A and B are shown apart, each in its own frame.
Chain A
Amino acid sequence: MTEHQVQIEEGDEDGTRVLRLSGDLSVQTLGKVEPVLARHDAGVPLKLDLSDVDRFDTAGAWAIAQLQVRMEAAGSALELSGADSRQRQLLETVTAALPQPPEETPRRRGLLEMLDALGRATVSAGLFLAELSHVLGLFLGRLARSLLQPRRLRWTALVAHCQDVGWRAIPIVSLMAFLIGVVLAFQGSVQLRQFGVEVFVVDLIAISILRELGILLTAIIVAGRTASAFTAAIGSMKMREEIDAMQTLGIDPAEALFLPRILALLLMLPILGLIANLMGLFGGLVMSWIELGISPAMFITRLVEGTSIDHVIVGMVKAPVFAIIIGVVGVHGGMKVESNAESLGRMTSASVVTAIFAVIVADAMFSIFFARLGM
């Protein structure tokens, strides 16, 4: 910047170092002035001549005040000359306001701190699980109560959430399942053709979609769509103290907010899973026809004869569990939002990640469980 200029002339008067400043002594020129003042040996007396300074602001005053403090500590004198009354007043104000950083306590590092951090992480993980069980317990309790007194259930909210969670998710879930069916048929046909048993591609598609992929991928998509929506909706209500307001008005947030949402998910996820299964099989059928020449009629015969209904049951049993996991994680995330927008964003993405992760962990546990049962 050309308009902000500062000149520093150095001189000597009877052993006293003299610095004559002229021009701007402001935040714009501080980068040039401050190093000169900071390099001054605090033990040597100094005279600062400010008579030609036009613009003098808190930044300039700060540089001089810093030097003054340093020289006083060293026991030498800083003489100011040519400063007008306003400049002196500003310097006084700044000197009085000079921040006094508190003594920093050095942070200890070592085995103890690592253990400390590990302990804290373990406890907070345990607390997280406890909080999730708390939400689950609230949901089950309110569900039981509204089963006994169906009037208490908020039917309008329930239907609205069913529409949001279920109906609106149908296109994306269908498309996803159809493509998975296509991919399985295509990949399966390439491998099975080597052995001349192309027709087994029907079993491959049926078992993998009905047992695992249909419901798992549906749950993952719903976790992405719905866990985030739950967290964002409840979180923004929490942020604006709406949930506190509900409580003071005698409305139970668990009944009004948690129950309709999680229940909608519980009702809709099995249906979505079923749609995904059908669309996945359809995708497989189409691809088998195009790629392997297996006619739809043959595909269906093979499907009905060769695939046990057990696979469908094993797949669909997981749906309610996934639904509750996604719902509980989403609602819990919303309740953890603090009073700022940043935590809303953080909790929303954390909810999605946690929900997807938890769904996959649950799926793995189901696999072990069914393997032990021999199903």
Chain B
Amino acid sequence: MADREPNIRLRGIRNAFGADVVHDDLELDIFPGEIVGIVGGSGTGKSVLLRTITGLRRPQAGTIELFGQDALNADEDTRATIDRRMGVMFQDGALFSALTVRENVEVPLRNVDDLSARMRAELADLKISLSGLPYTAGDKYPSELSGGMRKRAGLARALALDPEIVFLDEPTAGLDPIGAAGFDTLIRKLSRTLGLTVFLVTHDLDTLHATCDRIAVLAEKKVLVTGTMAEMLEVDHPWVHEYFHGPRARAALATMEGKA
């Protein structure tokens, strides 16, 4: 993968809240079509990193290249084009509560020229179905859905414009194991068939095992190591070792080996 141009290239990123430095000289490359899991302890700035890449937060220093373009100094049009190639699924879906699920998915489609209302609605229905929701969910309001369904609806909206990168913030947090496993399969399937690059913030070891091509560990204010699950098990750093060799990690590994 190293010979390909990365979709996301971060260099020297520094994020600080007052005197509290979250990221310092952070570097990360994410290549087209791969699913990268971001892990790290609480307060290591996983969500801050996601917000930085998606343009919701401006870092104090560093460069962000998205699709080979400088995202921080891009003019408005370029930035809008970049944004259109990215989709974000927030932790609880962040659906607009006054709109039905279908209308939520239609929101990004409204910016596309020449789409009739009927096409928008039918495309939205397709995205809802691709995200694994039943057809009837389209007419419901976010408050009428369960947490897992809201996440799926959030994913459907993130996928509305067929982005090349999707950012998923804790996609399986708060889901039951069956729902979480279903979501893992869904992410993997969508990534493979749509050629999606996935930036996945998660604490769920099962999700890491089941979906991620590569794992990036955030610690000591930067991306400490990246690599596959197998490579992570070899890392010597105490936190990484604790994370991937703790009792929960061993249980997750055992089930994966049992399946394989």
Contact = CB atoms under 8 A, between A and B. Distances in A.
Contact of A341 (B97, B128, B161, B194): B97
Contacts of A27: 109, 112, 115, 123, 161-162
B98 A58 contact: no
B135 interface: yes
Given A93-B130, A342-B98, A99 B113 contact: no
Most buried by A among B81, B127, B159: B127
Main secondary structure of the interface of A (DSSP, over half): helix
A62 B129 contact: no
A26 B113 CA distance: 12
Contacts of B115: 27, 30-31
23 contacts: A3-B81, A26-B162, A27-B115, A27-B161, A30-B119, A31-B113, A31-B115, A59-B123, A66-B122, A93-B189, A93-B194, A97-B129, A97-B130, A98-B126, A98-B129, A99-B135, A100-B135, A101-B125, A340-B141, A340-B142, A340-B143, A342-B143, A343-B143
Contacts of B122: 62, 66
A100 B125 CA distance: 9
Contacts of A30: 112, 114-115, 119, 123
Interface of A: 1, 3, 26-28, 30-32, 34, 57-59, 62, 66, 86, 89-90, 93-94, 97-102, 338-343
A30 B124 CA distance: 13
Contacts of A100: 135
Given A97-B126, A97-B130, A102-B136, A31 B194 contact: no
Interface centre among A26, A99, A338 (most CB of B within 10 A): A99
Interface in B185-236: 189, 193-195
The 7 A-B residue pairs whose C-beta atoms are closest, nearest first, are A31-B114, A57-B162, A340-B143, A99-B129, A99-B125, A93-B193, A97-B129
A342 B135 contact: no
B108 to A, nearest CB: 9
Interface residue tally on B, bucketed by range: 20 to 34
Interface string B162-186: 1000000000000000000000000
Contact of A101 (B112, B114, B135, B159): B135
Nearest to A101: B135
B112 A28 contact: yes
B116 interface: yes
A6 to B, nearest CB: 11
Contacts of A3: 81
Contacts of B141: 340
B197 to A, nearest CB: 14
Contacts of B161: 27
A27 B125 CA distance: 14
A27 B106 CA distance: 12
Contacts of B125: 99, 101
A32 B123 contact: no
Contact of A59 (B128, B143, B162, B195): B162
Nearest to B114: A31
B97 to A, nearest CB: 5
A340 B145 CA distance: 11
Contact of A94 (B114, B116, B126, B143): B126
A1 B113 contact: yes
Given A27-B162, A62-B123, A98-B126, A339 B143 contact: yes
Interface string B126-149: 111110000110000111000000
Contacts of A58: 126-127, 130, 159, 162, 194
A199 B126 CA distance: 79
Contact of A90 (B97, B129, B194): B194
Nearest to B161: A27
A57 B142 CA distance: 27
B229 to A, nearest CB: 26
A93 B119 CA distance: 19
Contacts of B136: 102
Contacts of A57: 162, 194
A27 to B, nearest CB: 6
Contact of A86 (B97, B128, B195): B195
Contacts of A338: 143
Contacts of B109: 27
A32 to B, nearest CB: 6
A31 B195 CA distance: 23
